[in-house]
Structure 1
Amino acid sequence: MAIVNEVAAALAESGIPIFAWRGETEEDFWWCIDRCVNAENWQPNMILDDGGDATHLMLKKYPTMFKLVKGIVEESVTGVHRLYQLSKAGKLTVPAMNVNDSVTKTKFDNLYSCKESILDSLKRSTDVMFGGKQVVVCGYGDVGKGCAQALKGQGCIVYITEIDPICALQASMDGFR
């Protein structure tokens, strides 16, 4: 998610705690998560995570606080894998919900949202026109399909790399190289 510093500043000015800004370093990133987890005048009872970072930090740095958590909701592949690892190690002591594999996430967010975000991200970071450009999309799962379709719609020549032969055949039948 892109942070708009002016919006964050306006929210902070109105008294809403803001722990993110555009251009933050990795050290800043972890400081922001720490401030969200270990804030004044409140005790978290649930973790809504994206990537497993808040869960990881709370378990590692604030184990006593983690014991007060009633549940975890995780929306990313990385975070879900981290939860499985915690469970396997016997460290996941609360219920956890895998939102990443829900139908609404896999069939809508992964496929459709990435169509918007890839174009926005590439336009902002490269400032080039896409027409006629050759691009490679790694993987042809739901996210790869959305990215490939969006780039093709902008006039790109899209190449797909894929290790699953069925997905590779789908890419070929959808007109990708």
Structure 2
Amino acid sequence: MALRNVEHYGNSILRKKCETINKFDDLDKLINDMFDTMYEENGIGLAANQIGVDLQLFIVDISDIDEEGESIHVFTNAEIINSEGDSWLNEGCLSVPGVRLDVKRPSIVTLKYQDRNGDAFTKKFDGLLARVIQHEVDHLNGNLIIDRVSKADKIGIGKDLKSIKENSLRTMESRKTSAL
């Protein structure tokens, strides 16, 4: 198991739709690395593209917050097929560090997905788990929390976004240089 680098706003992998998973045999190491990385970063959800991997895969662990029911999940090839209600919550994102925004999302979602073994499910989720699922599905489709807020809210965090993007680009350049 290993920690992976979390990609930040400005990295193009965060803006593309991730590739469908067709082969499930070799996911265990990646999933373990994702959990290690998410815990190290104090997150409750992490999508594969947030660590630079172009796959339709995300993980969730809300066990520290919500002790009811199942709280640790692995989702692949997830698609929201229905949603109901609305709720607002202040969200953060590991790929947009230091930024928190009030985001409106449906309060209940029906998700069609596969688990880490490729078994297919369709389930309804609500509460915090529904919100985290939507946040991570957004990542897999190339969207960030900043795409879910008003133009005025985006302008309000413009300096932060510029700084995050500049740091992200410097980090990517540094990784390229050290790889040579």
Please state which structure has a larger fraction of its residues in strand: 2
Please state which structure has a larger fraction of its residues in helix: 1
TM-score (norm: length of structure 2): 0.29
TM-score (norm: length of structure 1): 0.30
